Every structure is written in C-alpha cells, then in structure tokens.
Structure 1
Amino acid sequence: MTAVASPPRPSRTRRVLSFLKRALIAELRVYSSIGRAIARRPAVEPGGTGIGYHRPVLTVLIIFIVLSAVEIPIFDLIVHPWPGIRIAVLILGIWGLTWMLGLLCAMLLRPHAVGPSGIRVRSGLEVDVAIPWSAIASVEIAKRVDEPKSPRVTDGPDGGEYAERMQDETNILIELERPTPIRLPGLAPRGGEHQVTRVRLWADDPRAFLAAARPFLLDA
C-alpha cells in the first residue's frame, strides 16, 4: 500500500491551536480515566463488550509508573536545600506520576467496545473511532505485522485503510460496506477526517472480539 496523498500543510497557528486542544483533552481524560477506575465504570455502552488492547505494553507501562514513583523521593532529597526548586520538582513529579497512572487507567477503562451502536476503536487517551453496524460488512481474525512507523491511514486499490496497531501488529480486520468517514486526532494529513473501506486493529483477545460482534452482524 502507498500512503494517502497529503493535503496542503496547515498554518502554524492552526497547528499550535490543534496541539493545545489535544493537550487539554488528554489532560482531562487523564483525570476522567482515573475517576472511571475508582468508580469501576469502563467506557462501554449498555449491552456492549469491552475488549482490551493493552497486554503487549502493560509490563513496560507499569515499570515506568514504578520508576516515576521512586524518582519523586530521590529528587526531593537531592534538591532539599533549595525550597523553591524542591516544590517545583515535587509538583512536576506528582503531575508526571498522575499522568502515567491516567494513561494506564485509560487503556484499561477505555477499551475497544463492541455494542448495539457499533464498534469503537480506541487507543490511549485520544483515539476513539466509532463505526456503526450499518457500515460494517464483516469482521474477521486476520493477523498482520506492518513496517515500523507505518501511517495509520493508507490508500490501496480498494480504498483507504485505517490501522490502529499495537507494536506494529493488528489481528482484527473489519471490512466496510462502502467508503466511510472516520476522524482521527489532530490535523491532516495524519489526523482529521479520512474515507476508509477497511479497518484493522489489535485486540488482546481476538476470539472474544469476534464473538461479541457476531450477534450484531447477524441482526444487521
């Protein structure tokens, strides 16, 4: 596949505003995800099933969280003689630890979701792509490994393809009935709206994903 042709590059002002908007949304979702974890309320609609995608990176993420927690008292001891610096370092350390915990909670509490309204493809704090059942032709298990740093959206002979990978891998293929718009975080060419006819994603349990989708496909 070849990458989709790039539209004109957005202006610097638009890029800055887009970055600030994304940063604000990510920050808010850090705290909302922690709140969901405390309340044990995953972002899955009633009658739906959540399918995780975090397993390949869970160990690494936990290691980063532990290291972030250990760093706080170590740096506090180092800068103890300077109260101003000590307070700033303490605030930064707590914020960083909170952010990492929020990311972990987002991955656990904002899974891929298969429900009455369709399939929601998710990743971390930002990605949440909704695909209604009316646009879905089929769902199947199909493992594929792409080249590192491959773009999320590519163009092929049958139309655009969106891939939400985990460590360059996907194992679920969703064929769409027709070109369907999806919206990704950020500005074009990598973000914004794209027309796609196929969606690929990674699910920790692809058989559970397929089992959750099958009743809705039969009713469609």
Structure 2
Amino acid sequence: MTELAASTGAAPRRTVLQRIGWLVRAAWRAEVGIWQSLYRWILRRPRVPRGASGFTYHSPVLTILVIFIVLSAVEIPIVDLIVHDWPWVRIPLLALGIWGVTWMIGLLLSYLTRPHAVGPDGIRARLGADVDVNLTWDAVATVEKSRDVLEKAPKIRDETHGRTLALRMQNETNVLVTLEKPVTTRLGDDTVEVDAVRLWVDDLDGFMSAVRTHIP
C-alpha cells in the first residue's frame, strides 16, 4: 500500500512483480538523486530559481546524519583490517562501505542543494531529491506558522483545509501553506492533487518575511 493509499483509505493491491518494479524504480530514483546532489554540491549549483531565496530544512536531521556518516567511515578500515587476508571478502565489503558513506553524504547534500525557495514565481517546497512541489502565487491562499508534530504519519492525509502533503523533518513541520486551488505534484510513481502543504523551515522568520514580500 502506498502512502497515498494509506492516507485516502484506498487500498489498491499490487502484484509481486508490481511491488518489485516499484522498489526498483524507487531505488533508482534515490541513487540518481544522490549522485546529482554530489554533482551540484561540487559545482556549487543549488536548485534555487532565479531571483528566489533558498531556505534550508535539514537542521532537525543534521546531527543524526553526521553521526551515521562518521560511524560508517570509521567502520571501513576496521572491517578491512578484519578481513584483510580474504580478498574475495575484503574487496566487496570495501566497495560496499565506500558506497554507503558516499550515499549518506549524498543524502545530506540532497537537502543542502535542494532547499525550499521563495521567489517571484511562488514557493518551491522540497524534500531532498524525492519531492519538489511548485506552488505558484496564484494558487497560494495563505502561508502561516503552524507547528505540527506527528509520528508515523503518512505524507498525505485529510485535514480541515483539505488533502495535505506534509514534508516532515523528524516528524515535524512548522509552516502551513493552504491553496486557492489544488496543485498537482509527483510522489514517486504517483501523481497527486493536494489542497495544502506542510513543511519544515530552519529559518522560520526569514521564510515568512520573504513570503510577505509577495503576499501582504
């Protein structure tokens, strides 16, 4: 069951082959996103539209990601020392360890190189390389501070203001964007319509100030 199905009460069944295909496509998108993030960071090319201001959202997960990166990096020479006399084991484990560290760094960089953006064309709400929602000003009704904390909540659920997409960081959001009209976006293999978007912003006051330059 997809997060979308879980949030709407629908329960479309996938065959085994469909599930495998979904997992393969999700893994491929994640892998491509990681390497694109490394590329953008090296070339200093964050995805911020021309004339817009970028706003980070990685602070809630920064500590845990750094810890995982450090532990993964320390683990490589330790494992290499243990299996040093068995090249047929050592080489695959070494490659896997290096890939794992690179992947974790790329995950962090996906947040850094794809910040939320506020500009003349509207708001871009993002979650790493996975989600990029374009909210044009003509579709935006209100933008407000709204702290929301929910554990194990689906990405999309029905709230009083309609179907809401929540881009949570450590289960939290602190901004609510309600829409004048539904906006269509992609979540994995699905195309969905949402009536509101919740997101987390590190610099909440700066974000709201940028929004007020476009919405009085």
Please indicate, yes or no, whether the TM-score normalized by the shorter chain is above 0.5.
yes
TM-score (norm 2): 0.90
1:68 aligns with one of 63, 66, 72: 72
Between the aligned partners of 2:112 and 2:174, the Cα distance in structure 1 is 19
- SS for the counterpart of 1:216 is coil
Between the aligned partners of 1:214 and 1:158, the Cα distance in structure 2 is 21
Aligned AA for 1:201? L
1:2-53 CA distance string (max 9 Å, x none):
9422142233333322221221121122111111111111111111111111
Between the aligned partners of 2:145 and 2:82, the Cα distance in structure 1 is 52
- SS for the counterpart of 2:124 is strand
Q: Hey, what does 2:87 align to over in structure 1?
A: 83
Aligned AA for 2:77? P
1:171-191 CA distance string (max 9 Å, x none):
1010100233232124xxxxx
1:130-169 CA distance string (max 9 Å, x none):
22222111111111222x1011111235421111111221
Q: Hey, what does 1:189 align to over in structure 2?
A: none
1:70-123 CA distance string (max 9 Å, x none):
111110000001011111111101100110111111111111122233222211
Is residue 19 of structure 1 aligned with residue 32 of structure 2?
A: no
Q: Hey, what does 1:168 align to over in structure 2?
A: 171
Is residue 45 of structure 1 aligned with residue 29 of structure 2?
A: no
TM-score (norm 1): 0.89
- SS for the counterpart of 2:111 is helix
Give the % identical residues: 49
Q: Which runs of 5+ in 2 are unaligned?
A: 1-5
- SS for the counterpart of 2:84 is coil
RMSD: 1.7
2:186 aligns with one of 180, 183, 186: 183
State the 4+ residue runs in structure 1 displaced beyond 4 angstroms: none
Q: Hey, what does 1:204 align to over in structure 2?
A: 202
Between the aligned partners of 2:16 and 2:214, the Cα distance in structure 1 is 44
